[in-house]
Amino acid sequence: MKQFEINARERSNFSKAAVKQLRKEGLVPCVLYGNNKENVHFSVSQKDLKDLIYTPNSYIISLNIEGKKQLCILHEAQFHPVTDNILHLDFLTIDSKKPVSIHVPVAISGNSEGVRQGGKLQVLNRKLLVRANMKDLPDTLDIDISNLTLGKAITAGELKYDNVQILSPKSTIICMVKMTRASTSASASAAAETAEATEEAKEE
């Protein structure tokens, strides 16, 4: 999985006034939660976070807080309800020698059989939670929908990748081909033709 580098500065004043001043300066207050370590409070320029937050991609983050480096992942983001500006970010410390749990985007490919029959493809989940060693973490979870037929779905329980464990519930639906009026009519016509051919064969 690709890494994203962030340069930050530590902060020690957690008052509302201090946080308000940070945001006024274009900075985002953040917290790094560690495994049995003291939480670290820091701030990052909002413009430096744009390519991390406003993207479908997932990253391992290389965080540099005034010379102190740490690998981590983004855990939670809070946004302004009107402007959509980033208000606060939480990060989780990770160990490069231990398995990492992270949400990874799905990448759908192929021309679904159900869509060719007039159905409509619906993507219900664009990321899945997985667990793997850092060296095995993929940038995307590739899913081929070529054989997906009308009314059928692909769930997390059907997916298998080398050295990657899917943590999302097995029943999680990633995508499905929904029946439409056009596909229903086509299906009915095909059924009628099949029935007619069967009757003709019996008569012969």
Per-residue model confidence as pLDDT tens digits over 191-202: 445 445 455 555
Q: What is the DSSP letter of 172?
A: -
What's the confidence (pLDDT) of residue 191?
47
**CATH number, position 113:** 2.170.120.20
Same domain? For 116 and 185 the reply is yes
Same domain? For 184 and 158 the reply is yes
Q: What is the mean pLDDT of residues 82-87?
A: 92
Q: Which two tokens stand for residue 13?
A: 């004043």
Same domain? For 111 and 52 the reply is no
Q: Mean of the per-residue pLDDT values for the chain?
A: 90
Confidence of residue 186 (pLDDT cuts 50, 70, 90): low
What does the CA dihedral 174, 180, 184, 187 come to, rounded to 10 degrees? Answer: -50
Give the bridge partners for 74, in sequence order. Answer: 91
What's the confidence (pLDDT) of residue 195?
46
How many helices (H) does the chain have, and how many strands (E)?
4, 13
- The domain tally of the chain equals 2
Q: What is the DSSP letter of 196?
A: H
- Chain centre distance of CA 193: 43
Q: What is the mean pLDDT of residues 175-195?
A: 65
Answer whether residue 26 shows pLDDT above 80. Answer: yes
Phi, psi of 203 (to 5 degrees): -65, -30
- Residue 121 included in any domain: yes
Domain residues for the domain of 119 are 102-190
**CATH number, position 64:** 2.40.240.10
Same domain? For 94 and 107 the reply is no
Q: How far apart are CA 58 and CA 69, in angstroms?
A: 19
Write out pLDDT tens, residues 98-114.
999 999 999 999 999 99
Of 44, 69, 98, the position where a domain reaches its end is 98
Q: Which two tokens stand for residue 198?
A: 């069967």
Same domain? For 90 and 123 the reply is no
Q: What is the mean pLDDT of residues 123-152?
A: 96
Q: 10 Å Cβ neighbour count for 159?
A: 19
Output 16 or 191, whichever has higher pLDDT.
16
- Residue 201 included in any domain: no
Contacts of the segment 187-190: beta carbons below 8 A, 24+ positions apart: 187/117, 187/150
The amino acid occupying position 123 is V
Of 52, 75, 98, the position where a domain reaches its end is 98
Q: What is the mean pLDDT of residues 157-180?
A: 96
What's the confidence (pLDDT) of residue 192?
47
Same domain? For 88 and 107 the reply is no
